[in-house]
Amino acid sequence: MNAPGRGRGFTLIEILVALVIVGIVVSVALLSTNLVGNDRELDRETRRLAALIGAARDDAMFQGREFGIELLSTGYRFVEFDPYTNQWAIVPDDDALRHWELPEGIEIELLLEDRKIRLDSEPQEIRYDPRTGASIGNYAPHLLIFSSGDMTPFEIALMRPFDNAREVLRGDLLGNLEFGDEDAAGS
């Protein structure tokens, strides 16, 4: 029995326990929001790459050009085949098809015919003989986009190694692109 006039209040321990619980809930919410934000970044970069491949494919078909894509461990660049000189060159005057670096912490994994391809961190140098104009060495991009609309079948995974998050983009011989689930990507 309580004494009259004396109300029941919270003890200091009860208030501290409530604050700890609220702190844990807020921390979990913030961490979850951050992870979802990073997944959006992976999704955005995968969709950007798909859009650029689609644009290059459209340009190839409408203009009768051949394109290639050189993939790097942390980026990519598009190149164009010049049939007159029989060599690959950086795409001139097209800001969309320039060398693109992925945001920090995102890497690319490439599979061709279900085999993982080792990617360099820097683009290969395309060198030319100043006398003949012919390319020196045997530069070749990883993926080809032909003027017919056909292209090299591939599977590209954009991933964050520290938490194993991945977004997968697949392309088939006919130039169709599809987004895959993370479990379908090979390791």
The pLDDT tens digits for 164-186 are 889 999 999 999 999 876 544 44
Mean pLDDT of 3-26: 81
Supply the pLDDT for residue 131: 67
Per-residue pLDDT at 184:
44
Domains of the chain are: 12-184 (3.55.40.10)
Position 181 scores a pLDDT of: 63
Cα distances (Å, whole numbers) of residue 177 to 38, 57, 86, 140, 171: 23, 11, 28, 22, 5
Res. 137 pLDDT band, cuts 50 70 90: low
C-alpha distances out from residue 72 to 35, 65, 102, 119, 158, Å: 25, 23, 10, 5, 11
Helix or strand holding residue 34 (H, E):
helix 12-63
pLDDT at residue 162 greater than cutoff 90: no
On the question of pLDDT at 60 being above 90, the answer is yes
Q: Give how far Cα 16 sits from Cα of 13, 22, 29, 130, 179, Å.
A: 5, 10, 20, 76, 48
Q: How far apart are CA 128 and CA 71, in angstroms?
A: 21
- Residue-level pLDDT at 50: 95
Q: pLDDT at residue 103 above 80?
A: yes
User: Given a cut of 70, is residue 110 above it in pLDDT?
Assistant: yes
Q: In angstroms, rounded to a whole number, what is the distance separating the alpha carbons of residues 27 and 33? A: 10
Q: Which residues are CB-neighbours of 140 under 8 A, at least 6 positions away?
A: 68, 88
Lowest mean pLDDT across 6-10, 42-46, 84-88: 6-10
Token pair, residue 119, equals 């990617």
Q: Can you read off the two tokens belonging to residue 115?
A: 């085999």
- Whether the pTM exceeds 0.85: the reply is no
The mean predicted confidence, pLDDT, of the chain is 84
